[in-house]
A and B are shown apart, each in its own frame.
Chain A
């Protein structure tokens, strides 16, 4: 087990390095340099000033040197400063915005499981029945409705019908849990519903398969109540694929937060990603991409390691 984790971590380091390389090269491919982008709005500049500023930012050096410099800083945990907010460090801004997005991600994952697992299990148990039909319809629609469309509809109609509207600011969950949850419940619901479609389909497919196994027949034959069979035997044995889907969805979830944070006015990491791209804040973009890529790699590692915990039959040699 330890050996497996170490090997996966090493592979993770390789992948993260490649993510770093990709995010660096992507920015290098941008037309014009970072300086021109920044000075675009700032009146007239003489070529000499431009040269001086370039030297100051270090972008007049060869690309390899710049990359080495960036990686050097990276290893010390320093990603440089934002180009737009010059006194703010890239990592500092990520750390500041992270809690909001983290809460959004956790809440929407919980909501998606609360929606997906009961529907998926019931759909499988009542295969081809009325419930199954509606369950599958829900999944098909959930996959196809753009989450921003759903988000907008939710914002407007929840506001009109129930008088719930998302507040403009989100207080911390530690100081004001009620207002905090009020601010996050709608955006989490929007993300959770689109996530749950995929999870529900996977749950249904896996449960259908497990239901046909011999041990389920045995459990029934020894007179176990069907509820106990479902939860203790069937669901327990369906968890590995469900967790896999959850892991795979993580990357999409981060993308989803970019859109949903725009709609609900949450100043989280998704919003930071969007605004720094819009304002061509290149150091921030590189930092964001690297950070999110690292998170995805780690989540995938966590998912793979959790298999052994979920299903003791799985052993990593």
Chain B
């Protein structure tokens, strides 16, 4: 498209039809240096999560990772060693290599954030689409229920839910859905209400489309922007909440190394004074990841959906 503009001629039909979505997104990100920074941070984190621990199928490693030690190998003789070339982030109170644990921890931490957001956004979108589109009593009842769930502070709700189930990665994800879905449903419902009145919806209805078809084929695609923006920021929030749960001892259980539980262990009253790196490394890892998601989310919001800017 740029080429056509330079020559002062209109873009061809093909150029109109198929702007490469990836290139467009990258081009737009270039206008947002902070967004680009966030994108870079996320690339590093995702790379660590995917390749760091190595990839194995059915117990056999098909691709070696770049961790240096077994994250759960205790070496009590070398506990709380400050960072050296051998242990670049030092060792923790059981002598485990902090660097390897950070690398291994990136996978469950990201998994929790991403799975919970995907599922929560899916559920929230379905609820928001349904209540916004159908309206009436359904809308009234379901949205009041969402009000009820949202009135309970997230951490209180999640802690109670964790206490009645057993903590595991799967349960934490399912519980986070309860925290994500209501607010997503609220945003989607609002967007549905404004989209519903558009002329193209009226047109689709006049042509005899069934309500389901109108909702899925005409309304839903127009909600893409706000949902994307919200989801990006939600991932960061979900990672923070998981870390809080882990910190309180109710997160993903050991031996899985998650950043939240590492931080929690590293902040035991005495160990942070003697060996601050044990807590600093996961703390910085969480911060960097959440900053990454937030920066990308902000950039996406400016690019995709100027109406949402005010919520910043």
Chain A residues packing against B (C-beta within 8 Å): 14-16, 18-19, 21-23, 26-27, 29-31, 140-141, 143-146, 148-149, 152-153, 156, 160, 201-202, 204-206, 209, 241, 251-252, 254-256, 258-259, 262, 273-274, 277-278, 280, 285, 288-289, 292-294, 296-297, 300
Contact = CB atoms under 8 A, between A and B. Distances in A.
Contact of B151 (A141, A202, A297): A297
B291 A140 contact: yes
A121 to B, nearest CB: 15
Contact of A15 (B148, B273, B286, B291): B148
B290 A143 contact: yes
Residue from the set B149, B152, B276, B309 with the largest chain A CB neighbour count within 10 Å: B152
Contact of A144 (B156, B247, B260, B294): B294
B153 A292 contact: yes
B154 A146 contact: no
A153 B266 CA distance: 11
A293 B154 CA distance: 10
B92 to A, nearest CB: 15
B93 to A, nearest CB: 15
A241 B312 CA distance: 11
B263 A144 contact: no
B152 A292 contact: yes
A contact face: mostly helix, strand, loop, or mixed: helix
Given A18-B145, A152-B267, A144 B291 contact: yes
The 7 closest A-B pairs by CB, nearest first: A255-B155, A18-B148, A144-B290, A30-B164, A149-B283, A254-B153, A152-B267
26 contacts: A19-B152, A27-B164, A31-B164, A144-B291, A144-B294, A146-B283, A148-B244, A148-B267, A149-B283, A160-B273, A205-B310, A206-B310, A251-B151, A254-B155, A255-B155, A258-B155, A258-B248, A273-B159, A274-B248, A278-B163, A280-B163, A285-B163, A289-B152, A292-B153, A293-B148, A296-B153
A224 B100 CA distance: 61
Contact of A205 (B147, B157, B263, B312): B312
A273 B148 contact: no
Contacts of A206: 310
Given A146-B287, A205-B310, A251-B154, A152 B160 contact: no
B272 interface: yes
A246 B156 CA distance: 19
B62 to A, nearest CB: 34
Contacts of B248: 258-259, 262, 274
A300 to B, nearest CB: 8
- Please report whether the interface of chain B is mostly helix, strand, loop or mixed according to DSSP: helix
Contacts, number: 139
B150 interface: yes
A292 B156 contact: yes
A252 B153 contact: yes
B153 A241 contact: no
Contacts of A16: 151
B161 interface: yes
B49 interface: no
A251 B148 CA distance: 12
Contacts of A160: 273
Q: Report the interface size class on chain B.
A: 35 or more
B127 to A, nearest CB: 15
Interface string B98-114: 00000000000000000
Interface in B119-152: 144-145, 147-152
Nearest to B279: A152
Interface of B: 144-145, 147-157, 159-164, 236, 240, 243-244, 247-248, 260, 263, 267, 272-273, 276, 279, 283, 286-288, 290-291, 294-295, 309-310, 312
A211 B243 CA distance: 39
B287 A274 contact: no
B234 to A, nearest CB: 13
Nearest to B244: A259
B152 A23 contact: yes
Contacts of B273: 156, 160
Contacts of A273: 156, 159
A296 to B, nearest CB: 5
A146 B286 contact: yes
Contacts of A141: 287, 291
Contacts of A149: 263, 267, 279, 283, 286-287
Contacts of B236: 143-144
Nearest to B159: A277
Given A289-B156, A292-B156, A146 B149 contact: no
Contacts of B272: 152, 156
Contact of B154 (A205, A255, A300): A255
Contact of B156 (A14, A153, A156, A255): A255
B247 to A, nearest CB: 5
B159 to A, nearest CB: 5
B156 A15 contact: no
Contact of A19 (B151, B162, B267, B294): B151
B148 A148 contact: no
